[in-house]
């Protein structure tokens, strides 16, 4: 390997990036589109969930509880006196639940044995669990407020909770750092997946084969520009996350770039391996989407908790590089620097990157040498 040939290859690839607008679109426009979709379109919280509140006997206590549901930021409550009115909207999906305040509510409340029934649409289990939890919270808060105002005994046992790192429980603060990892997985693999395949399709690979350029020089000359491009894309995403989505950034810039640089190695190596094996841009891009985006989205803990997956699937997640980047990014953003934790994840991603780059070099060598 000579520095002169490597510099010439890097210069060639940089000129190609400038001439080809698709690389700029993939590196800077696609990440913004995905980040906006994830930031605004994906949420683990539920607000203004439509429910029907049935007041079977309009007493002072039942009307007060119904008003508590109407004033809650988590519900968009419609009050009625017959549950049959809300059955059809629940079946259609216009409502997610029906809260029934029974006719004996006030009498039973005096005995401290009153029950509020909640009928939940189970077609969306996550929403159903949120409706149940929010309903319990509204009823509990209402009871405490009424007990305090009327001088009744407030239950002696109380739970005082304290939430670290994300006190407001804003799901965006949890999802946006993970979205940056998903974007990097897609952009890193997609950018390089088109590189070698494009050389074969345009017929320039034969010209490179006639030169003394080695496979290692060829791959390194293509990795370095796209490595810098990937870090630039990450920087743009981080700026959007902090200044637009107002995600707190409590770690250091050094930690951020360290974990992201380590992740780019397997991402770029995977793209180069796909590109060298297929020699076709369309096929390479499809394989990059299937092998990079879907595993990163489904098996990294971004949306679905890894601990709740079947044991065999949990083992498979260990070979998904994004599975090690997402918790690192969330820690950098929300908690701060935790270098022993970062060091382990960085080491794992570097090992994966070395394996993929070595495989890409051997595959390319068979075509070039």
158: in domain: no
- The conformational region for residue 169 under phi > 0 = left, psi -120 to 50 = alpha, else beta, is left
Q: Give the pLDDT band (50/70/90) at residue 44.
A: low
In a domain, 165, yes or no: no
Is residue 29's pLDDT more than 80?
yes
- Whether the pLDDT of residue 91 is over 70: the answer is yes
Query: Given strand 97-101, what is the order of strands in its sheet?
Result: 75-80, 49-55, 97-101, 117-120
Chain-centroid distance of CA 6 in Å reads 37
CATH assignment of the domain containing 54: 3.40.1710.10
Is the pLDDT at 169 greater than 80? The verdict is: no
For residue 156, pLDDT over 60 is answered with no
How far, in Å, are 53, 115, 137, 265 from residue 64 at the CA level? 12, 15, 15, 59
CB contact at 8 A, 130 and 122: no
Residues in the chain: 369
CA distance 256 to 260: 6
Residue 350, domain member (yes or no): yes
279 and 350 co-located in one domain: yes
pLDDT at 319 over 90: yes
Residue 155 domain flag: no
Whether 62 and 55 have beta carbons less than 8 Å apart is answered as: yes
Structure-token pair, residue 29:
């426009």
Q: What percent of the chain clears pLDDT 90, i.e. is strictly above it?
A: 33
Q: What is the pLDDT of residue 157?
A: 42
What is the reported pLDDT for 150? 66
Q: What is the pLDDT of residues 207-260, one digit of tens each?
A: 777 777 777 787 888 889 999 999 999 999 999 999 999 999 999 999 999 999
Q: What is the pLDDT of residue 276?
A: 82
The residues pairing with 101 across neighbouring beta strands, listed in sequence order, are 55
Query: 32, 40 in Cβ contact below 8 A?
Result: no
Clarify whether residues 185 and 139 are in a common domain. no
Which of 34-38, 86-90, 161-165, 171-175 has the lowest average pLDDT?
Answer: 161-165
Q: pLDDT-based confidence at 295, cuts 50/70/90?
A: very high
- Residue carrying structure tokens 């259609």: 92
- pLDDT(305) > 90: no
Q: Single out the residue in 116, 150, 184 at which a domain terminates.
A: 150
Mean pLDDT of 139-168: 67
- What one-character-per-residue DSSP string does 221-253 give? HHHHHHHHHHHHHHHHHHHHHHHTS-----S-H
Q: Residue 266: count other Cβ atoms within 10 Å of its Cβ.
A: 29
Q: What is the pLDDT averaged over residues 62-67?
A: 91
Q: What is the mean pLDDT of residues 279-284?
A: 87
Please report the pLDDT score of residue 34 as a whole number: 86
Mark whether 129 and 227 lie in a shared domain.
Answer: no
Residues 105, 228, single domain; the answer is: no
**Domain count of the fold of the chain:** 2
Q: Report pLDDT digits (tens) over 331-362.
A: 999 888 999 999 999 999 999 999 999 998 88
C-alpha span between 75 and 95 (Å, rounded):
11
DSSP H/E element including 261: helix 253-278
pLDDT band at 151 (very low <50, low <70, confident <90, very high): low
Do 241 and 108 reside in the same domain of the chain? no
CA–chain centroid gap for 155, Å, is 40
Report the alpha-carbon distance of residue 29 to residue 231 in Å, rounded.
14
C-alpha 242/C-alpha 228 separation (Å) is 21
Give yes or no: residues 180 and 34 share one domain.
yes
In a domain, 175, yes or no: yes
Closest residue by Cα to residue 52 from 30, 8, 85, 22: 85
Domain final position from 150, 179, 210:
150
pLDDT confidence of residue 366: 44
139 and 182 both lie in a single domain: no
**Same domain (yes/no): 328, 241:** yes
User: Domain range spanning residue 231?
Assistant: 3-42+170-368
């Amino acid at each position: 390997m000579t520095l002169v040939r490597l510099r010439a290859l890097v210069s060639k690839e940089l000129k190609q990036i400038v001439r080809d607008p698709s690389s700029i679109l993939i590196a800077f426009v696609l990440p913004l589109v995905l980040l906006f979709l994830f930031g605004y379109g994906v949420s683990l919280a539920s607000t203004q969930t439509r429910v029907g509140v049935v007041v079977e006997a309009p007493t002072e206590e039942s009307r007060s509880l119904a008003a508590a549901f109407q004033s809650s930021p988590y519900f968009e409550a419609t009050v009625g006196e017959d549950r049959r009115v809300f059955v059809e909207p629940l079946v259609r999906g216009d409502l997610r639940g029906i809260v029934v305040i029974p006719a004996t509510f006030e009498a039973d409340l005096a005995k401290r044995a009153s029950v509020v029934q909640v009928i939940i649409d189970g077609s969306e289990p996550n929403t159903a669990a949120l409706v149940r939890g929010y309903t319990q919270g509204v009823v509990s808060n209402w009871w405490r407020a009424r007990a305090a105002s009327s001088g009744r005994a407030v239950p002696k046992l109380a739970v005082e909770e304290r939430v670290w790192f994300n006190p407001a429980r804003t799901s965006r603060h949890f999802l946006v750092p993970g979205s940056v990892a998903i974007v990097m997985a897609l952009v890193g693999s997609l950018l390089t997946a088109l590189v070698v395949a494009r050389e074969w399709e345009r017929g320039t690979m034969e010209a490179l084969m006639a030169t003394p350029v080695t496979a290692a020089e060829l791959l390194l000359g293509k990795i370095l520009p796209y490595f810098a491009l990937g870090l630039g894309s990450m920087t743009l995403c981080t700026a959007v996350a902090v200044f637009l989505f107002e995600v707190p950034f409590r770690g250091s810039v050094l930690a951020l770039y360290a974990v992201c640089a380590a992740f780019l190695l397997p991402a770029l190596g995977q793209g180069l391996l796909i590109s060298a094996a297929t020699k076709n841009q369309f096929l390479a891009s499809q394989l990059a989407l299937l092998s990079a985006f879907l595993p990163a989205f489904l098996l990294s803990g971004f949306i679905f908790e890894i601990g709740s997956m079947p044991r065999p699937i949990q083992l498979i997640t260990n070979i998904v590089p994004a599975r090690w980047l997402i918790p690192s990014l969330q820690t950098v953003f929300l908690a701060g620097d935790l270098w022993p934790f970062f060091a382990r994840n960085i080491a794992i991603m570097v090992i994966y990157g070395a394996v993929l780059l070595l495989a890409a070099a051997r595959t390319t060598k068979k075509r070039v040498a």
